[in-house]
Every structure is written in structure tokens, then in C-alpha cells.
Amino acid sequence: MTIPVTLTLNAGSSSLKFSMYNIAGDGEPQLMAMGEVEKIGSQPRLKTQVGVKGAEVTRDLAAAEAKDHSSALNTALGLLREKFPEAQASVVGHRVVHGGPHFTEAVVIDDAILEELRRLSPLAPLHEPHNIAGVEAAKVHFPDALQVACFDTAFHRRHPKVNDMFAIPREYYEKGVRRYGFHGLSYEYISGELKEIAPLLHAGRVVVAHLGNGASMCAILNGRSVASTMGFTPLDGLPMGTRCGQIDPGVIFYLLQQEGLSVDDVRKMLYDKSGLLGLSGLSNDMRVLLNAQVPEAHEAIDYFVFRIRRELGGLAATLGGVDALVFCGGIGENAVEIRRRICEDLSWIGIEVDTNKNESNALVISTEFSRTRVMVIPTNEELVIARAAKRLLAEHQQKKA
């Protein structure tokens, strides 16, 4: 007896994250396995975990097993078929970083949609081509399965126009030069969780801090995004693992004109050599920096915390106050010291953190008397994709019936 499943794929420049969910019945998709192929095309490695509480297993791969995204997917599928021979992929859900100005929700990918995604590639040149490569690889491996695109920008597409524009000639806005915001799948998940566990907070003024190697913050009012720290690209806003975050555009002119760097040099610097890595000269891993005994590492952390606190003040002003601050992402969910430093001396905004709750990674880490609830909620972008894939598959089957 076969089990209908959805695969979720998140294709990066040299990685492929995947998961498999059982979508039988009317309930929530149930996780069966997840994993990642890292360093595709160089020294590939496969990490897998079966079930929600299964132990993570890691093994190195031969170069031929992951020379590109298609072969990496084939390797991952080989493992999944070995573990779950009864599974049959009915739908494949893809994380697509950029949906442009028009995609406001997940869609079934047909030839016209795929061509539109290719046209959007200049808006996210370091992400979109790899997302498309994942779609094309999945179409080869699953020619009969429905392919679904879930956009990181979609959650933000209904925010107010004042948070959608840059103060440049209006013609460029019409051409798509706008503040899009990203990490939307994560924010959608957190907003949904809040609706279940704290409906009154969900209906109010919430700031979510998605802090990881990629980092951003989002102001959410009654479940709707009204402002985000990321803008036209995932480069803007907070400093990240290797990305610079907010920067004066004049710095770019200076690097091009006075330092003699090429456009590609500047792009690589701002995306791959900046952020925590660039400031510390040591690592983009917050765990390494917290344990380092060098002033450059401390300064990188200081800057990271400072920018988060500054953006929190701006988002609070946008919302007219904050009812809840939610941390998620690898750093947000695990870095006790970073959360403590961000929330320090913020009683003026109603934030008071309980030290013991923070150190135990409790769901609620604010004190009993804190006017603003401070929470830690692990995010789950893959489940958001699986839900959308299951829903669109059901709609597709109804249309065919």
C-alpha cells in the first residue's frame, strides 16, 4: 500500500534541504524525514534525520553523488526510497526566495509560472536561479507530481505602500524596484503558531526576530506584515552571518570608484565576506564568536545586537507599541546571551526578561510583570511549504474530478 507524501525542497547555491511529509487524510502533514546535502559540487555531505525525534546521521558523499542539484536530489531520494519504499510523491513544494510584486501566495508551477520565475531572477540573482534548478530537477525525477512554489516574499506583499517604496523616481517602482521583505515562510509559521497559542497577542502588535545566518525582523499587526527590515533583496537590514545588512549606498560608489573593485567584487564582498564574518575576521558562526576571546569577535556581536535593538525601536514606532516580541531562527532560538543583551534595559518599551526562563529556552521568557510578552518559538518553514503543497494538491484533484 502506497503512502501519499509531499517532498519539500529548499535549493541554495551549494546546498539542497529536503523533507518528506505524509499527507494522507485530512489532518496536518506528518514529518517522516528531513535532511540536507551540503557543499554540492565540491566536498558534498549528506545529513539526514528520520522522524521528529530521530538522531541526525551525517556521511560524506562521493563527488559524483552531488555534482549538481539534480544528482544531489537523486542521492537524497535514494535514501528516502530505501527508508520508505511505500512512499509516493504526489506533490513537491519548493521554497522560492523571490515572488516579485504579483505572487502573493503559493502557486502550482506550470510552464508559464516557471518562465515568470526566470524573469524574476535579476531581482534575486544569488538565490532564484538555484530555486529554479531545484524545480527543474524535481520535474525530471517526478514528472507526474504537482510542483508548487512557496514564496519568501508573499507574506509581505500586502504591507502598506509607504513600506513598499524607495524615494527614487517612481518609474522604477513600476518596474519592480520595491521593498519586498523576505523570510516570509518563517513569519507565516510564527504568526500561525501565535494564533493557536496566544490569539490575543496574534490580534495585536507583534515583532518577530528571525535571527540566524540570515537575519531579519518583521512588524506584524493582526497577523499581517506591515514592515520588514529586509528590502529589495535579502541583503538589507540587519547584519547577518556573511551579509552586511543596511549600508550607505555611497559606500558602494566609493568601492567602485576609489578602490577599483568590480561590480562582482562588491557583490561578493557584501553577500559573502561581510556581516559577522567580515567584522570579526574569524567566523560567521555566532557560537564561535561567543566563545572567542578576541576584541574583533566582541565588536561583531556588539554591532549585531545594536542593530537589532535599533530596528526594534523603529518597528515599535511603526506599530504604535509592541505587545509581543518573538525570537526564532538558529540564533534566536538558542543563543541565550544574545537574547539577554537584546532585551537589556528595554523596560521603556515594556520588555523585562526573566533570567531563568531565558536560560532554559522557555516558550515565554519575559517576567510576570513585563507589559510586552517575550517568547521563543522554533520556526518551521518546511511545514508551511508542506501545508501549502497539500492544499493545492487537494484543489487540483477537485478540479480534475
> Which residues are identified as catalytic?
152
The sign of the dihedral angle between the CA atoms of 275, 150, 233, 190 is negative
* Per-residue exposure over 128-152, b if at least 16 CB sit within 10 Å of its own CB, e if not: bebbbbbbebbeeebeebbbbbbbb
Give 297's contacts (C-beta < 8 A, 6+ positions apart).
280, 282, 283, 288, 289, 290
Contact between 117 and 171 under an 8 Å Cβ cutoff? The reply is no
Contact between 394 and 150 under an 8 Å Cβ cutoff? The reply is no
Contact between 322 and 206 under an 8 Å Cβ cutoff? The reply is yes
The DSSP output letter for 55 is: P
Provide the residue type at 384 as one letter: V
Provide the residue type at 212 as one letter: G
304 vs 171: CA distance, rounded Å:
35
312 vs 301: CA distance, rounded Å:
17
